[in-house]
């Protein structure tokens, strides 16, 4: 099964595999195993960033990109992969100035061992750089063939509108997709960004689609989970979080799939969402995510999950 990202020629698997764990909680061998299983199941869409994972002791940034580059070279499958990476958040190459974008893309291409990036994101807005400069810099990369399409992550609706309007008015390559923080526990996206994306025909590709692992259902106050994300996931374990987990468990039981697959399918059911992004540290974790590609929730099930995750008041 493939989904066409609106406004592009990219056809992708319903699950985008997040690369933030590669070189962090998954070493190179474990990363290769997950990547092999993902592609064996029909997956072709992989998301990374130049900044992954510079904060980890012993890493320096670009680690995920290097692992992906080594894997694609070893497998000889670059042409089969829709590859997304990002610029702007790495302290060694921060911001979205024309100079930084031009320098950063060369580093990403080198680490990924490829001559082009399929989807290149502004990782986060840079308020110190005019959107005109950023959009023009991205357009130059598209014209040079180094990037096929551009996208934005962590932008406000106002700044996104400004960038889209400038690109359209000047015939430049504009953002075709947006990557916001969006899941059953984080629903601010629905307020301003979702209507804008619907109006402008852009794809939503949510990150942290499983709320740092909380929506896998493995976290509780009485269970110790060995994960680098455990502390962040447990922040969701309040009355609202328990209601969401209960609803996920019930719907997952109806379909014989994991709670994670249901959480991803709920996202996919949103009209603006093309493919949610989720990472897997192990092959076993990945196997729990993959059923989302064929999972269709009923209207009642979507309503049940939406109601459980509503913020009181």
- Kindly give, in sequence order, each residue whose CB lies less than 8 Å from that of residue 242, ignoring residues fewer than 6 positions away: none
- Kindly give, in sequence order, each residue whose CB lies less than 8 Å from that of residue 100, ignoring residues fewer than 6 positions away: 87, 88, 93, 94
Among 260, 243, 225, 289, residue whose Cα is nearest residue 234: 225
Q: CA–CA separation, 89 vs 153, rounded Å?
A: 11
Query: Is 236 annotated as catalytic?
Result: no
Q: Could you tell me if residue 206 is left (phi over 0), alpha (psi between -120 and 50 degrees) or otherwise beta? A: beta
User: What are the counts of helices (DSSP H) followed by strands (DSSP E) for the chain?
Assistant: 11, 10
Q: Residue 179 pairs with which residues in a beta bridge?
A: 153
Q: CA–CA separation, 300 vs 225, rounded Å?
A: 32
On the 0-12 / 13-18 / 19+ scale of CB atoms within 10 A, 232 is middle
Exactly one of 38, 52, 219, 236 is catalytic; name it.
Answer: 52
- Kindly give, in sequence order, each residue whose CB lies less than 8 Å from that of residue 63, ignoring residues fewer than 6 positions away: 22, 23, 24, 52, 53, 54, 56
Query: Hey, which residues are catalytic here?
Result: 52
């Amino acid at each position: 099964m493939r989904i066409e990202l609106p406004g592009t020629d990219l056809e992708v698997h319903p699950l985008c595999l997040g690369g933030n764990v590669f070189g962090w909680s998954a070493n190179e061998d474990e990363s290769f195993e997950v990547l092999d299983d993902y592609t064996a199941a029909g997956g072709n869409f992989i998301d990374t960033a130049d900044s992954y994972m510079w904060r980890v002791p012993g890493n320096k940034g670009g680690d995920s990109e290097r692992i992906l580059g080594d894997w694609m070279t070893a497998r000889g499958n670059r042409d089969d992969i829709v590859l997304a990476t990002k610029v702007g958040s790495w302290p060694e190459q921060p911001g979205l100035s024309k100079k930084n974008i031009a320098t950063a893309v060369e580093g990403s291409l080198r680490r990924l061992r490829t001559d082009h990036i399929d989807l290149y994101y502004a990782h986060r807005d840079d308020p110190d750089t005019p959107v005109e400069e950023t959009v023009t810099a991205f357009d130059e990369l598209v014209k040079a063939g180094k990037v096929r399409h551009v996208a934005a992550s962590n932008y406000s609706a106002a700044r996104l509108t400004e960038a889209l309007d400038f690109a359209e008015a000047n015939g430049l390559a504009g953002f075709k997709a947006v990557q916001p923080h969006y899941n059953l526990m984080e629903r601010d996206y629905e307020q301003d960004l979702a209507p804008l994306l619907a109006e402008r025909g852009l794809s939503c590709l949510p990150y942290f689609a499983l709320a740092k692992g909380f929506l896998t259902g493995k976290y509780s106050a009485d269970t110790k989970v060995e994960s680098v994300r455990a502390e962040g996931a447990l922040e969701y374990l309040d009355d609202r979080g328990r209601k969401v987990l209960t609803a996920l468990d019930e719907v997952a039981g109806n379909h014989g799939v994991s709670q994670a697959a249901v959480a991803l399918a709920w996202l996919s059911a949103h009209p603006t969402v093309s493919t949610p992004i989720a990472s897997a540290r192990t092959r076993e974790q990945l196997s729990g995510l993959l059923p989302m590609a064929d999972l269709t929730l009923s209207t009642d099930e979507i309503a049940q999950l939406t109601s459980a995750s509503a913020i009181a008041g």
